[in-house]
Structure 1
Amino acid sequence: MKQKLSRREASDAVSDLGWRFLLGTIRTSVPVGSLAQAVAMATSAVAVCGDHADRHLRADIRPGRVVLTLQSLDHAAVTTLDIDLAHRISGVVHQAGSGTEPETGVAAPRSVQLLEIAIDALDIAAIRPFWKAVLGYTDEAGADGPEDPLVDPVGQGPAIWFQQMDQARPERNRIHFDICVPHDEAPRRIKSALAAGGRLLSAIRAPAFWVLADIEGNEICVTTWQGRDG
Structure 2
Amino acid sequence: MSETLSHHGISAAVTGLGWRYVLDGLLAGVPVDSLRAATDVAARIAAGLGAEADDHVVMDCRRDSVIVTVRSWRTGSVGPDGLHLARRIFALVTGLGLRIAAGAGLSRSVQALEIAIDAVDAAAVRPFWRAVLGYADGAGDVLVDPAGQGPAVWFQRMTLPRPQRNRVHLDVSVPHDEAPVRVERALAAGGVLRSDRFAPAFWVLADAEGNEACVSTWQGRDP
- Report the structure number with the largest CA radius of gyration: 2
Kindly provide the CA deviation profile for residues 70-95 of structure 1, in whole angstroms up to 9, marking residues without a partner as x.
11222221011111111111112112
1:122 and 2:115 equivalent? Answer: no
**Match for residue 43 of structure 1?**
43
Matched residues, number: 170
* 1:5–1:77 CA contact under 8 A, matched in 2: no
The Cα shift of 1:117 comes to: 0.5
**Match for residue 98 of structure 2?**
98
* 2:28–2:103 CA contact under 8 A, matched in 1: no
Unmatched 5+ stretches in structure 2: 171-223
Flag the structure with more relative contact order, 1 or 2, with Cα contacts below 8 A and sequence separation at least 6: 1
Written as runs of structure 1 = structure 2, the 5 A alignment for 1:1-230 is 1-103=1-103, 109-140=107-138, 142-143=139-140, 148-175=141-168
State how far apart, in whole Å, the 2-side matches of 1:124 and 1:137 are.
16
Tell me: CA distance 1:164–1:35, structure 2 relative to 1, closer, same or farther (3 Å). Answer: same
Tell me: CA distance 1:108–1:64, structure 2 relative to 1, closer, same or farther (3 Å). Answer: closer
Aligned-pair identity in percent equals 46
Kindly provide the CA deviation profile for residues 152-192 of structure 1, in whole angstroms up to 9, marking residues without a partner as x.
00011110000111112222221389xxxxxxxxxxxxxxx
The Cα shift of 1:136 comes to: 0.2
State how far apart, in whole Å, the 2-side matches of 1:14 and 1:62 are.
24
* 2:103–2:110 CA contact under 8 A, matched in 1: no
Kindly provide the CA deviation profile for residues 25-80 of structure 1, in whole angstroms up to 9, marking residues without a partner as x.
11111110111110111112112222211111110111110011111222221011
State how far apart, in whole Å, the 1-side matches of 2:110 and 2:127 are.
30
TM-score, length basis structure 1: 0.69
**Match for residue 188 of structure 1?**
none
State how far apart, in whole Å, the 1-side matches of 2:106 and 2:149 are.
25
TM-score, length basis structure 2: 0.71
* 2:27–2:102 CA contact under 8 A, matched in 1: no
**Structure 1 moving runs of 4+ over 2 Å:** 1-4, 101-104
